Chain A
Amino acid sequence: DTEVTQTPKHLVMGMTNKKSLKCEQHMGHRAMYWYKQKAKKPPELMFVYSYEKLSINESVPSRFSPECPNSSLLNLHLHALQPEDSALYLCASSQVRQGAPLYFGPGTRLTVT
């Protein structure tokens, strides 16, 4: 099973709302990732968790707050977002070894109004 699931598929939120994106994998992977993808662009890395610890934060604004409750789950908490944060948010997972591919979820399409 190489499936990464993400919920919700679509999310519309106002600039004062608080919402969360969820990601789950059952492949036993110990690295999990959040990416942001704008239209017609490649994905941009936001965060990396390795063994449930935040290991990389690519200078992401604090209105995005990641959380890794256990080795299978990854959340992204959203608060006070801006319209320019509208994008496809992709979760991925991989083994923690050189050359291991990332497996991506289907993404959450976020619109900030």
Chain B
Amino acid sequence: AQSVTQLDSHVSVSEGTPVLLRCNYSSSYSPSLFWYVQHPNKGLQLLLKYTSAATLVKGINGFEAEFKKSETSFHLTKPSAHMSDAAEYFCVVSAPNNAGNMLTFGGGTRLMVKP
């Protein structure tokens, strides 16, 4: 069984300040973890993925995440927020399955960026 908890449903930052979106997971397997971003009325875009290689993962648009097994966390960070980062962010854990990859989504974090 697996689960994902995004610790904040809403995060508000000022443009140019750091972003931290928190995610904790639970998995019976060695997990694959992802962050996806969804802008209003759009599909989900893959930001980055962790699949048991380096624990610090770099993604698109300056985002990165660190896998910490001891804390079962996979927090998403960005040094400097941009207005275009305002969106919904989902932390996702994947379980292996012969039929495909079964994703478990966190509840989402809405990031607001103030000018």
Contacts and interface: CB of A to CB of B under 8 A. Distances in A.
A99 interface: yes
A31 to B, nearest CB: 4
Contacts, number: 71
B44 interface: yes
Q: Is the interface of A mostly helix, strand, loop or mixed?
A: strand
B84 interface: no
A104 B36 CA distance: 10
Contact of A98 (B32, B45, B107): B32
Nearest to A44: B105
B43 A105 contact: yes
A105 B38 CA distance: 11
A40 to B, nearest CB: 8
Nearest to A33: B100
A40 B17 CA distance: 25
Contacts of A98: 32, 94, 96, 101
A44 B94 CA distance: 14
The 5 tightest CB contacts between A and B, nearest first, are A55-B99, A31-B100, A42-B105, A99-B32, A99-B51
Interface of B: 32, 34, 36, 41-46, 49, 51-52, 90, 94, 96, 98-103, 105-108
